[in-house]
Amino acid sequence: MRGVCLRVLMRGGEFHLGYPRSELQGASWYHLLHWDCMREAQSKHRLITQSEQDRSCILLLRLQRRSGDWLWIHCVLQVKDNMENSQQPVIVCTNQVLSTNTSSAIQD
């Protein structure tokens, strides 16, 4: 399975993660994931890239900030046709930052 490389990071992502855009561009998304979230993220990645029907999914996960602490994220992954004349589709990841209280309530 191919990895998920970050191609575009919005200003909000820079702010919340603490990384400059240039440092994360081309980096693997999996390097930011908390180890407890890895299995579900891999499973959902596989689901949306190998299924004809399920081309989107949601995840509750933690991403590591540059400072080393963890940020709870509600993430929507969607497979989209690539607009850059490439045969490969892309995965668009839309994130919502959650407070610790909100993430705890969602997990229960």
pLDDT of residue 40: 95
On the question of pLDDT at 1 being above 70, the answer is: no
Q: Which stretch of DSSP H or E encloses residue 107? A: helix 100-107
- Bigger pLDDT: 82 or 73? 73
Contact 59, 78 (CB under 8 A): no
Look up the CATH architecture of domain 11-107. 2-Layer Sandwich (3.30)
On the question of pLDDT at 105 being above 70, the answer is: no
pTM for the whole structure = 0.77
What distance in Å separates the CA atoms of residue 6 and residue 12, rounded to the nearest whole number?
Answer: 14
On the question of pLDDT at 86 being above 70, the answer is: no
**Residue 75 binned pLDDT confidence (cut-offs 50, 70, 90):** very high
